Amino acid sequence: MQTKDELITTLKKIVKPYVQDEQAFEHVTEQTDFINDLKINSANLVDIALDVEEEFDIVIDNEAMEQMLTVGSSMDVINKKLAEKA
C-alpha cells in the first residue's frame, strides 16, 4: 500500500499529460478539481481513469468514475478499490 504522499505523486504522474493549467498543477492539493482547476476535458478524464486502472490493477466502475473529480476523491476511490481487492 502506498502512503498518502506516494499516492499523490503517482496520481500526479498519471494526470500530468492531460493538464492544461500548468500553474494550478504546481500547487496540487487534495482539493484540486481536475476539470475546474487543471482544465482537463471530460474525454481526458476517461483516459485518467483508464491509466489509474492500469497503474493500480483495479477496475473503475461508473459509480467510481462519477466520484473521480478531484485529487482527493480519486485517492479515496483508489484506496477503496485496493482494499476491496486485498
Partner 1 sequence: MVANIFNKLIHLQNFTSILEKLPYSPPFLFVDTLQHVDENGTEGSYTFPDDSFFYLGHFKQAPVTPGVILTEVMAQIGVVCLGIFLLSDTLTSNIAIAMTGTQVDFYKPVFPGETVTVRSTKEYFRFNKLSCKVEMLNSRGELVCRGTISGMMKPTTHA
Binding positions for partner 1, 3-62, rule CB under 8 A: 41-47, 49-50, 62
| CA pair distance 79, 37, nearest whole angstrom | 23
Residue 48 DSSP symbol? H
CB atoms within 10 A of CB 8: 19
Number of residues interacting with partner 1: please give it, by CB under 8 A: 11
Q: Which of residues 65, 72, 76, 82 is near partner 1 by CB under 8 A?
A: 65
Cα–Cα nearest to 16, from 36, 53, 44, 43: 44
Nearer to partner 1, 2 or 53 (CB): 53
Question: Which residues sit at the interface with partner 1, rule CB under 8 A?
Answer: 41-47, 49-50, 62, 65
